[in-house]
Amino acid sequence: MIFDQLLYERPNIVEFEEEVFELLGKFESANSFEEQFKLIDKINSLRNHVLTMLTIAEIRAQLDTSDKKYQEEQKFINKNWPVYEKVVASYYDCLIRSTFKEQISKKYGKQLLNLAEINVNTIGSSSVIDKLKRENNLISEYTRMMANAKIEFKGEERNLAQLDKFVSSPDRMLRKQAIEKNMNYWSNTKIELMNFLIL
């Protein structure tokens, strides 16, 4: 399937969170590893759907920074990605506390439980969740600035990628001019980025 033809619909993060926590309740009270396997598959299916939608939106927002719909979706992702991470951390916590951990490891591989332990140790606290939200906003803003760069050089308006070819030119003077233009852009943009950081 062609990427442009992929259907995007904003995932309902609240519903996702409720469904996963309901399944985790069943997971913790399950009496057999077969029952837990079925619940793991259901949770993974929910995770995959949400992750697919968020990935489509993020790519489309980066491909066209003037597309207002996907810029709004990027804001939605930045706000809700930490919620997704929190849900996944709860899921991983249940996996590593499972009484059928050995069977889970055999069926899904040791790497799953290794990832679960690392995730629980890093995403566990609410302060990390708040920092993830902030980090997501900063990354999006930086990406937008990179994509929207318009720099006048040699009689043409160029973006940063177009300016880069002059930065590696064999002509030393041309390289110097291109580097100066690049540095001036980031010097001026730094003020905009600093204002964004303060908000």
DSSP string over the chain? --GGG-------HHHHHHHHHHHHHHHHH-SSHHHHHHHHHHHHHHHHHHHHHHHHHHHHHHH-TT-HHHHHHHHHHHHHHHHHHHHHHHHHHHHHH-TTHHHHHHHH-HHHHHHHHHHHHHH-SHHHHHHHHHHHHHHHHHHHHHHH--EEETTEEE-HHHHHHHHT-S-HHHHHHHHHHHHHHHHHHHHHHHHHHH-
CA distance 51 to 66: 23
Q: In the prediction, which pLDDT does 129 show? A: 66
pLDDT by 10s per residue, the chain, length 199: 687 788 999 999 999 999 999 999 999 999 999 999 999 999 999 999 999 999 999 888 888 777 889 989 988 988 888 889 889 999 999 999 999 999 999 999 999 999 998 888 776 555 666 777 677 777 777 777 777 778 888 888 888 878 888 888 899 999 999 999 888 888 877 655 555 554 4
**β-sheet bridge partners, residue 152:** 157
Q: How far is CA 74 from the centre of its chain?
A: 10
